[in-house]
Amino acid sequence: MNIELTVNGISNQIDVNENTPLLWVVRDMLNLKGTKFGCGKAACGACTLHIDGEAVRSCSYPVKNAIGKEVTTIEGLSSEGQIHPVQQAWIEEIVPQCGYCQPGFMMTTAALLEKIPNPTDADIDANITNVCRCGTYYRMRKAIHRAALLKQQNT
Amino acid sequence: MSDSKNKKGWSRRKFLVRSAVGTGVVLGTAYLTRPVQKRSLAQIANTIEPPYQGFTNDPTIWFEILADNSVLLYSPKVEMGQGIFTSLAQMAADELEVDIKRIKVLHAPSASGNMDFFSTGGSTSISSLWVPLRELGATMRQMIMEETARIWNIPSDQLTVSDGIISDGSRTITYGEVVAQTTEWKIPKTPKLKDISKYKYIGQPIPRVDLEDKVMGAPIFGMDATMPDMVFGAVVRPDTIGATLDHIDLGGVADMPGVIQIVQEPDFVGVVATSRMEAELAKEAIKVTWKAERNWQLSDIQEMVRVGKGTAVTVQKKGSPKRILDNEDDVLQSEYTSPAGAHAQLEPNGALAFVEEDRATIYMSTQVVRLSREEIAQRLGLKSKQVNIIPTFLGGGFGRRLYTPNAIQAAVLSKAVGKPVKCFFNRKEEFQNDLFRPPTHHIMRGKLDKQGNILAIEHHLSSGDVTYGSPLLPKAITSFVGSDAGAWRGGMIQYHGIPNHRAISWHVKLPFATNYWRSLGLLANTFAIESFMDELAEKAGKDPVQFRLAHIQDDKAGKRLKAVIERAALEANYSNEVMKGRAMGFAASTDVNTPCAQVAEVSMENGMIKVEKVTCVMDPGISVNPDQIRAQCEGSIIMGLSASLYEQMTVVDGQLQPTIYGPYRMALMRDTPKEINVVLLQNDDKPGAVGEPPLGPVGAAIANAIYRLTGTRARDMPIAMV
């Protein structure tokens, strides 16, 4: 069927099976490759993006549910000329190793900071449940605290 | 510097210089060191991978200088997170005399000829390219300088260079400008390499060169590759160990939405469709019955992997350990086990393949560019040179991409439909078709003398395949060495001061594939040996740190090992006392000549072990990029902690399980130590191994801490609950 899907502020007309996971629509039809496939069962968080500001694991989210909503991917996290504090913090802490899981973590973190602007370590432990095999969690925790600080300075 | 060679020159045949269309000049060489056949086979087996070997007598492309004075560096090694692209850029920038920002590191496509004969693995990328890459950079700089001298008609020693701009004091010219007006190059002798104190980038914590791409979500991975008119493939695979095809029913599948073609091959059945989801749905709709000779269970596997079963090879021996341990009283004996472990890297295996009449183009995450190329060429009936492997950034390697048969399937599907086909595992397939870290069983025996020093010690190790059966190492090497060197990596006794010691490697063939997993046998072997060292220290009534130091010889390797042990004890303020609910554990190992000591601090939280802090002291020799070496230590500690505490593949009714994250329990953010203190020492004059050595001590350090905290000795991984 034909659907209208708004991603990163741009409206798209797409002819797609409405049950297709949003992940594959974003990756293969809109060619936004920053959202990753990890497990297909919402177990690892590599595919995390935002729907109306909420972190969603898009591999298990049918595209029809996103109709009429605002989808944001890692490519749309920073606004024009202004890098998002989470991405800035990730750069300053030199977090990524292989880098594959990182967009999912950054999207999860960005959504977390909207709800809990200054998360404690316990908040981070409870809310950041994505999987990273390189073991960048140690730097990520620092980056999350730094992002919270940067975000507060920006506003 | 000892490795600077002033006399060596590159012959024209070996140093390729040619104009590149529209860009600039391409410089390269067949950098051939000693032929692989002449190297010690045992040395290759021991380090798993020999130093960098040029692959071909044909010229190979290393550098390209563009008109805007930027430099492309084609890496024969792949970037899988270990940070080598950054270190290579540092090494090139320092000898080329250009700002590191002008250097772009790219994966060398196999068509460039710049391939490593073996792989990216074994923690040898930087150590093996340390001399060749700097020599190439220095030679290229000198070549451009001499050409400039000819253009200006002045002696080259009157020229200076800074950031790729050559000056004679009154005028300047860029590398790019020299390159643009030169057609005939004269290759100079390789200049003397700079003194290390003169380097601007080497030794500095330069931010990763791929940092921005990875933070902004750039499409750099194999799974991100696209080609026009691309379609998607999926392949039917058995989910039971040892299963073969009994019956297949394709009824109705061809008519399913999006299905382009069903491809039946002698060894697999695949389907090609217009989208990933359609390909997956069609694959699921193919009704397959499998037959398996045996309904394997975990207990069957555990019974197979026992010291005393299979074949044994003594891989280390000094003195008469067997006579002492068989005959003396009061011999301490302990057994340890580790389970099969999955790689669980986040990017699944697969490839985007486009096979045309006379060529194949393959985008993929691979650690074995050459092997991937040979396997695909052989299957398609093409010559090697007709297959171009374009390596992408790897969404994790960890040894999982040293064997890539799924790329062959993508190529076969592409040939069948005449279009580019992207074919990747789903997660269940990724788990069930992994080449696992093999399960192990260890028996340690030790005897103390009257002074409480170790008189004799031995390590019996039983393991499934690591290097055995791998297409990566020629059969000649494994049969020459006679044992599975990957399995016993880290399994030899490093305390050479013990007068009688030996290590025996038992090999067993398992019904499912096991292979390379980051650091190979190191984690499990160190778990056994270093746990046992603590057990012996306790029996001797000695401090575990002093006890270790007392058994290390004063040769170079011994001195380096002692230094990391002493520093780790100091940094962590190591104590045998339980303080504020926390206890410490100590362990040390040497891997690929890099010694590493760690102290783990653990506490108990709701009956579960929590690792609060890890202190890691490592001596990798020269640290080309200390920040990324720290990152490798942090990552290794977390991966090792994860494998030691939580991870375990099991076998249930013939199926390898679990097949998804979560049930395959791995360390998450909440399990990560709040403190990881990494200290780097430098007691060698060249860069050594980094990516795997810090995995060695983790499991034993945690187990030793658990014992102090709880009084219970954890001898079976995973050890989360004791």
Mean pLDDT of B395-418: 96
Tokens of B469: 């059966």
Q: What CATH number is given to the structural domain containing A123?
A: 1.10.150.120
A118 and A60 within one domain:
no
Contact A141/B672, CB-based, under 8 Å?
yes
User: Do the bridges between strand B350-356 and strand B160-162 make them parallel or antiparallel, or are there none, so unpaired?
Assistant: unpaired
Helix/strand/coil percentages in chain A, nearest 5: 40, 15, 40
- For A46, which of B278, B346, B667 is closest by C-beta distance? B346
Give the structural domain span for A94: 85-154
CA B361 remoteness from chain centre: 25
Kindly indicate the confidence band of residue B476, based on its pLDDT and cuts at 50, 70 and 90. Answer: low
Q: Cβ B666–A24 below 8 Å, yes or no? A: no
B contact test, residue of A75, A87, A98 with most B CBs within 10 A? A98
Beta carbons of B660 and A41 less than 8 Å apart: yes
B423 forms beta bridges with B233, B351
Cα-based angle B578, B580, B583 (whole degrees, multiple of 5): 35
Q: Nearest by CB to B674, which of A43, A121, A132?
A: A121
Please answer yes or no on whether B217 and A103 come within 8 Å at the CB atom. yes
> How far apart are alpha carbons B374 and B357 in whole angstroms?
17
Question: Distance from B207 to chain A by nearest Cα, in Å?
Answer: 7
Is the Cβ pair B395, A35 closer than 8 Å? no
A62 and A101 housed in the same domain = no
| pLDDT for B473 | 66
Handedness of CA B651, B655, B656, B660 (dihedral sign): negative
- Which residues face B273 on adjacent strands? B232, B259
Q: What is the pLDDT of residue B480?
A: 58
| Closest Cα in chain A, distance from residue B99 (Å) | 20
Domain final residue, candidates A76, A103, A137: A76
Distance from CA of A96 to the nearest CA of B (A): 7
Name the class of domain B222-292+349-424. alpha beta
Interface with chain B: mutation pick from A20, A86, A133, highest number of B CBs within 10 Å? A133
Q: Chain B residues with CB inside 8 Å of A34's CB?
A: 216-219
- Predicted confidence at residue B21, as pLDDT, reads 37
Q: Which of A104-113, B362-371, B460-469 has the lowest mean pLDDT?
A: B460-469
Residues in chain B with CB shorter than 8 Å from the CB of A125 are 669-670
Which chain B positions have a beta carbon within 8 Å of A101's beta carbon? 346, 395
Diameter over CA atoms, chain B: 85
Residue B514: closest CA among B678, B403, B356: B403
Confidence of residue B45 (pLDDT cuts 50, 70, 90): very low
B474 Cβ contact partners less than 8 Å away, ≥ 6 residues apart:
none
**pLDDT for B66 beyond 70:** yes
**Residue of chain A whose alpha carbon sits nearest to that of B425:** A39
How far apart are alpha carbons B602 and B712 in whole angstroms?
14
Say whether B215 and A28 touch across the interface (CB within 8 A): no
B705 touches B528 (CB < 8 A): no
Does domain B12-212 sit in CATH 3.30.365.10?
A: yes
pLDDT at B9 over 50: no
User: What is the average pLDDT value for chain B, to the nearest integer?
Assistant: 90
More confident residue, B21 or B244: B244
User: Which has the higher per-residue pLDDT, B344 or B29?
Assistant: B344
How is chain B split into domains, by residue range?
A: 12-212, 222-292+349-424, 305-341+435-710
Domains B222-292+349-424 and B305-341+435-710 agree in fold: yes
* Contact criterion met (CB < 8 Å) for B669 and A98: no
B581 touching chain A per CB within 8 A: no
- Poorest-confidence range of B413-417, B479-483, B578-582? B479-483
Cβ distance B215 to A17 less than 8 Å, yes or no, reads: no
At B650, which helix (H) or strand (E)? strand B650-652
Q: How far apart are CA B591 and CA B122, in angstroms?
A: 10
Q: Residue A100 and residue B346: Cβ atoms within 8 Å?
A: yes
Q: What is the pLDDT of residues B496-531, one digit of tens each?
A: 999 999 999 999 999 999 999 999 999 999 999 999
**Averaged pLDDT, A81-96:** 97
What pLDDT score was predicted for residue B67?
81
pLDDT attached to residue B48: 36
CB B505 within 8 A of CB B312: yes
A8 vs chain B: nearest CA distance in angstroms?
14
Instruction: Tell me if chain A has a CB within 8 Å of the CB of B207.
Output: yes
Handedness of CA B32, B37, B38, B43 (dihedral sign): positive
The pLDDT, as a whole number, for residue B559 is 98
Q: Does residue B15 register a pLDDT over 70?
A: no
How many domains would you assign to chain A?
A: 2
The reported pLDDT for the residue numbered A109 is 98
Closest Cβ opposite residue A91 in set B215, B346, B397: B215
Closest to B214 (Cβ–Cβ): which among A73, A102, A131?
A102
Q: Does B82 touch chain A (CB under 8 A)?
A: yes
* 3-state SS, residue B46: helix
Distance CA B637, CA B672 (A): 9
Question: A67 and A18 share a domain?
Answer: yes
Q: Which residue has the higher pLDDT, B54 or A18?
A: A18
Confidence band for B475, pLDDT divided at 50, 70 and 90: low
What angle is formed at CA B619 by the lines to CA B613 and CA B624, rounded to 5 degrees?
Answer: 105
CA atoms within 13 A on the CB side of B312: 15
Q: How big is the CA angle at B420 (ends B417 and B425), to the nearest 5 degrees?
A: 95
Q: Does B608 touch chain A (CB under 8 A)?
A: no
Same structural domain for residues A94 and A59?
no
Contact B517, B399 (CB under 8 A): yes
Give the model confidence (pLDDT) of B140-156 as tens digits. Answer: 899 899 999 999 999 99
Pick the CATH number of B305-341+435-710 from 3.40.109.10, 3.30.365.10, 3.40.50.740, 3.40.50.300: 3.30.365.10
B455/A contact by beta carbon, under 8 A: no
pLDDT at B20: 42
Is the confidence at residue A54, as pLDDT, over 50? yes
Nearest-by-CA chain A residue for B677: A138
Q: For chain A, how far is it from start to end, CA to CA, in angstroms?
A: 42
The average pLDDT across B452-474 equals 88
The answer to whether B543 and B494 have CB atoms below 8 angstroms apart is no
Which of A91, A94, A89 minimizes the C-alpha distance to A146?
Answer: A89
DSSP labels for B126-141? HHHHHHHHHHHHHHHH
- Rounded to 5°, angle at Cα B607 from B601 and B609: 25
In degrees, rounded to 5, the angle at the alpha carbon of residue B135 between the alpha carbons of residues B98 and B142 is: 60
Nearest CA in chain A to B675: A138
Residue in chain A closest to B229 (alpha carbons) equals A28
CB B346 within 8 A of CB B99: no
* Partner-chain residue, chosen from B216, B627, B662, that has the shortest CB–CB distance to A87: B216
Last residue of a domain, one of A76, A97, A112: A76
Residues in chain B: 722
- Count Cβ atoms below 10 Å from residue B363 Cβ, excluding itself: 27
What are B87-143's pLDDT values in tens digits? 999 999 999 999 999 999 999 999 877 888 788 988 889 998 998 899 889 988 998
Give tens-digit pLDDT for A100-126. Answer: 999 999 999 999 999 999 999 999 999
Nearest-by-Cβ selection for B396 from A34, A121, A134: A134
What are the angstrom distances between the C-alpha of B159 and each of B93, B95, B137, B150, B153? 19, 16, 17, 11, 11
C-beta separation of B698 from B636 below 8 A: yes
Nearest residue of A to residue B348, measured between CA atoms: A38
Helix/strand/coil for B500: strand
**Chain A residues within an 8 Å CB radius of B344:** 131, 133
Q: What residues in A contact B208, CB-CB < 8 Å?
A: 94, 96
More confident site: B39 or B588? B588
* Burial readout B418-451 (b: 16 or more C-beta within 10 A, e: otherwise): ebbbbbbbbbbbbbbbbbbbbbbbbbbbbbbeee
Residues B307, B314: Cα–Cα separation, whole Å: 13
- Is A131 within 8 Å of B668 when comparing Cβ atoms? yes
Non-local CB neighbours of B317 within 8 Å, separated by 6+ positions: B501, B502, B503
Q: Would an 8 Å CB–CB cutoff place B394 in contact with chain A?
A: yes
Radius of gyration of chain A (CA): 15
- The span from the CA of B87 to the CA of B114, in Å, is 18
Contacts of B204 (CB under 8 A, 6+ apart): B90, B625, B626
**pLDDT at position B10, please?**
41
Measured in angstroms, the CA of A146 and the nearest CA of chain B are apart by 15
**B224 touching A, CB under 8 A?**
yes
Three-state DSSP at A64 gives helix
- Residue B626: cis peptide before it, omega within 30 degrees of 0: no
For the stretch B296-327, pLDDT in tens is 999 999 999 999 998 899 999 999 999 999 99
Residues from chain B that touch A133, judged by Cβ atoms under 8 A, are: 343-346, 396, 398, 639, 666
Q: Do B672 and A137 touch (CB under 8 A)?
A: yes
Considering the domain architecture, whether residues A63 and A103 belong to the same structural domain is answered as no
Last residue of a domain, one of A76, A98, A133: A76
Q: Cβ separation of B639 and A137 shorter than 8 Å?
A: no
- Distance separating alpha carbons of residues B189 and B184, to the nearest angstrom: 16
* pLDDT confidence of residue B188: 84
Cα separations (Å) of B190 from B140, B205, B589?
A: 9, 28, 38
The DSSP code for A26 is I
Find, in chain B, the residue whose alpha carbon is nearest to that of A101: B346
